[in-house]
C-alpha cells in the first residue's frame, strides 16, 4: 500500500535534500585549497610569462598554504594552454596565467575563437604589465630617434624589416601599429621566439624590433642594441633617458604585455575570492614589485571586476590593430 506523504513532510524533505546538495560546494569553499594547485603557463619555460608566473606561484604557495605548481603548456600563442584550463574542472585547482595574447589578441586572430572566448573564464586578478621597447642595431640602422628612423624608412626604396617572436604577439602587433601610424612600408619577419629574433637584429639581418623589454634589456645595457623608445605611458626607471612613443610623436601608442590569473567558468566565487586576496597580497609586496621592476615591468593590482573590464578594453584595442593590419584569421 502506497504511503501518503504530507505536504509538511515533503517540504521538510525537500529542504533537507537541498541543503545536502549544497554541502559539497560549501565544504569545498571552506576547505580550499586542501591539495596542490596547478598554475598553467601557456608558453614555454624561461620566457617573461614563465618567470613572473613562478614568482606568483611562490607567493601563492606561502599565502594559500598549499603548493602552487607551474605547468607549461605551449602552442598557438598561448591558445592551447588556455583552452586546456577552460575545459578543466571548475574547482579552483587548475588556474591560468593569462596574457594579453590569450585574453585579448587570440580571440581576434584565430578562427575558432571570438569575443565569447572571454566568457570561458572567471577573472581573478591582474598582477603585472611589461611594455615593449623599440630597438635597432645602429651599425645597420644608424639612427638615434624614432623621427630619424621614420625618415630613413621613407627614404629607402624597399621596406625595412621588423622581427617578432611570432605572429600575434604584442611585439608583432606593436610593429603593425607603428607601420600604420607612421605610414611605413615595413616587412614582418616572424621567428620562433625572442632569442633568434634578437640574434638576427644584432647580426644585421633585420632592421628593428618592438621587443618585450625583458629579453632586450641586457643587449641595450650592453650597448649592442640602441633603444629608441618604450611603449609604456611613462618613461621606465630602468631606461630613464629613453623617451616613450607618446613623446616621440605617437600620442596614442601605448602597448604592453600583461599577466593575470583566471579560473574555468563556474568556479565558485568563494574560491576565487581566496585566490584573489592572495594574489593582490603577493602583487603588492615590496619583494614582488622589486623583482618585476628588474624585468622592466610594473606590478598591477586589479581585482576580479576591474581585471575583467580591463581585458575587454584590451580585446577591443588589439582587435582594432589586427583589423587595421588586415591580418587574416589563422
**pLDDT digit string (tens) for 101-156?**
999 999 998 887 777 788 999 999 999 999 999 999 999 999 999 999 999 999 98
Report the distance separating Cα 117 and Cα 76, nearest Å: 15
pLDDT at 115: 75
Domains and their CATH numbers in the chain: 35-130+256-325 (3.40.190.150), 131-230 (3.40.190.10)
> 308-316: long-range contacts (C-beta < 8 A, 24 or more apart)?
308/123, 310/126, 311/103, 311/104, 311/118, 311/123, 311/260, 312/118, 314/100, 314/103, 314/104, 314/258, 315/103, 315/104, 315/107, 315/108, 315/115, 315/118
C-alpha cell belonging to residue 86: 577552460
Specify whether the CB–CB gap between 77 and 101 falls below 8 A.
yes
pLDDT at 6: 52
b vs e for 88-124, b when ≥16 Cβ sit within 10 Å of the residue's Cβ?
A: bebbbbbbbbbbbbbbbbbbbbbeebeeebbebbbbb
pLDDT tens, N- to C-terminus, the chain (330 residues): 444 445 445 445 544 455 545 545 455 557 899 999 999 999 988 888 999 999 999 999 999 999 999 999 998 889 999 999 999 999 999 999 999 999 999 999 888 777 778 899 999 999 999 999 999 999 999 999 999 999 999 998 678 999 999 889 999 999 999 999 999 999 999 998 889 999 999 999 999 999 999 999 999 999 999 999 999 999 999 999 999 999 999 999 999 999 999 999 999 999 999 999 999 999 999 999 999 999 999 999 999 999 999 999 999 999 999 998 888 777
DSSP-derived secondary structure letter, 143:
-
Q: For the chain, what's the residue count? A: 330
Q: Which residues contact 247 (CB under 8 A, 6 or more apart)?
A: 229, 235
pLDDT at 51: 92
Amino acid at each position: 500500500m502506497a504511503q501518503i506523504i504530507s505536504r509538511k513532510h515533503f517540504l521538510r524533505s525537500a529542504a533537507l535534500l537541498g541543503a545536502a546538495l549544497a554541502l559539497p560546494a560549501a565544504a569545498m569553499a571552506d576547505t580550499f585549497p586542501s591539495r596542490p594547485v596547478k598554475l598553467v603557463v601557456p608558453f614555454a619555460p624561461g620566457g617573461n610569462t614563465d618567470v613572473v608566473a613562478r614568482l606568483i606561484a611562490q607567493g601563492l604557495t606561502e599565502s594559500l598554504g598549499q603548493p602552487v605548481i607551474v605547468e607549461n603548456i605551449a602552442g598557438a600563442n598561448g591558445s592551447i594552454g588556455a583552452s586546456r584550463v577552460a575545459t578543466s574542472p571548475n574547482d579552483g585547482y587548475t588556474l591560468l596565467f593569462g596574457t594579453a595574447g590569450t585574453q585579448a589578441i587570440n580571440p581576434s586572430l584565430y578562427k575558432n575563437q571570438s569575443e565569447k572566448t572571454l566568457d570561458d573564464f572567471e577573472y581573478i586578478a591582474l598582477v603585472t604589465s611589461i611594455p615593449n621597447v623599440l630597438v635597432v642595431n645602429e651599425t645597420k640602422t644608424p639612427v638615434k630617434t624614432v623621427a630619424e628612423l621614420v625618415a630613413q624608412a621613407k627614404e629607402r626604396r624597399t621596406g625595412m624589416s621588423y622581427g617578432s617572436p611570432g605572429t600575434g604577439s604584442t611585439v608583432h602587433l606593436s610593429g603593425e601599429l607603428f607601420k600604420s601610424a607612421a605610414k611605413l612600408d615595413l616587412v614582418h619577419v616572424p621567428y620562433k621566439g625572442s632569442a633568434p629574433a634578437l640574434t638576427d637584429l644584432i647580426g644585421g639581418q633585420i632592421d628593428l624590433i618592438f621587443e618585450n623589454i625583458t629579453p632586450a634589456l641586457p643587449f641595450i645595457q650592453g650597448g649592442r642594441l640602441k633603444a629608441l623608445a618604450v611603449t609604456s605611458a611613462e618613461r621606465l626607471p630602468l631606461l630613464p633617458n629613453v623617451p616613450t612613443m607618446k613623446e616621440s610623436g605617437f600620442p596614442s601608442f601605448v602597448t604592453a604585455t600583461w599577466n593575470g590569473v583566471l579560473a574555468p567558468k563556474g568556479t565558485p566565487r568563494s574560491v576565487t575570492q581566496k585566490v584573489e586576496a592572495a594574489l593582490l597580497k603577493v602583487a603588492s609586496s615590496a619583494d614582488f614589485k622589486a623583482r618585476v621592476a628588474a624585468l622592466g615591468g610594473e606590478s598591477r593590482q586589479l581585482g576580479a571586476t576591474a581585471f575583467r573590464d580591463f581585458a575587454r578594453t584590451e580585446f577591443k584595442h588589439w582587435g582594432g590593430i589586427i583589423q587595421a593590419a588586415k591580418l587574416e584569421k589563422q
